[in-house]
Amino acid sequence: MKNRILKFVDHLLHPVDLSAPDQVIKEATRLLEQDGNFYQALELLKPVALAGNPLAQTITGGIFRELKTLPNHNAEALRWFEQAAALGFPLGELNLGIMHMDGLGCAKNPELAAHWFRLAAQKGHPLAQYELANLIIGGALEQATLEEAIYLLELAIQQSFTPAMNELAKLYEHKTASEAHQKKALELRQTAAALGDLASRLCLGERLYVQSEDTPNQNDYIKLLEESANYGYVPALFRLGTIYHSGLGVTPDRQKAASYWLIAAEQGHEESRMHLKEMQHSDQSPEPRTMENVIPHVPRIG
């Protein structure tokens, strides 16, 4: 309640200048992001969109696409995206391409989607570059080549767009046995993971886990499992918990075991959760047991 009152007072002290499109768009964006108020944001944006502002038109189209309770909401979204795209606005072109690709408010048309993606891609929009590359890789465009798709992905990668890194890595991993390409794929995954990309982190974790299975040396095996766990790979977390709990080739360490199981359990791993529960019940200390008692100051991995 206090926050709402403060917001209300702030609006009284700093009213939106409805004659300034930038201020209107900024306020509408705030309403969408902070309050989830689609209808009030739409009310603010429509006059600016009708006046021909392509950003307002694109956001208006996006709101209609999300408001699935409205009749013909996709057709209305399509209309606004078309207006923004007609002005050469890359975000409008991108979204118009998505509408034609997914068949929202129109029939599915990958060729027309590619047309709009290509226009936005030429203006440097990384998502458009990525979507166009995916259409090519998926075989939706007869005249396009894999080389063009790779070029587009590389353009997006130059802007640190992690989905493009993942897609190019996947291409190199599965389309070729070249050692150079395999090395490049690994570098792309590592870069994306360092930028916080979950898909790459899990892919690297799985790769390290598989490597550990083929490693006879115990120390190397544990090291690979720990690296895999650092990427948040659940099977590695669970396996390490089991190893440290039972002392299989290592000094038993209940706290370490619990820390690995806890992280896996937080990601929905039921067996880890059950092991933690059993660990609590098996502790015979007279001190009242809580998760904090059993696992004090658990370090987070990954």
Q: Give the contacts of 128 (CB within 8 A, at least 6 positions apart).
A: 90, 93, 94, 97, 117, 118, 119, 120, 121
Reported confidence tier of residue 286, pLDDT bands at 50, 70, 90: very low
pLDDT tops 60 at residue 143: yes
The mean pLDDT value for 57-80 works out to 94
Reported confidence tier of residue 291, pLDDT bands at 50, 70, 90: very low
Reported confidence tier of residue 102, pLDDT bands at 50, 70, 90: very high
pLDDT tops 50 at residue 31: yes
Mean pLDDT rounded to a whole number for the chain:
87
The mean pLDDT value for 270-293 works out to 70
pLDDT at 25 (0 to 100): 94
Q: Give the contacts of 58 (CB within 8 A, at least 6 positions apart).
A: 80, 81, 84, 89, 91, 92, 95
pLDDT per position as a tens digit, 211-226: 999 899 989 999 999 9
d(CA 197, CA 177): 25
pLDDT at 116 (0 to 100): 98
| Token couple for 153 | 């992905």
pLDDT per position as a tens digit, 144-197: 999 999 999 999 999 999 999 999 999 998 866 688 888 999 999 999 999 999
- pTM to 2 decimal places: 0.78
pLDDT tops 70 at residue 302: no
The mean pLDDT value for 269-277 works out to 94
d(CA 236, CA 175): 28
Q: How many CB atoms lie within 10 A of CB 256?
A: 19
Reported confidence tier of residue 142, pLDDT bands at 50, 70, 90: confident
Which has the closest alpha carbon to 98: 134, 122, 123, 71?
134
| Token couple for 23 | 């201020």
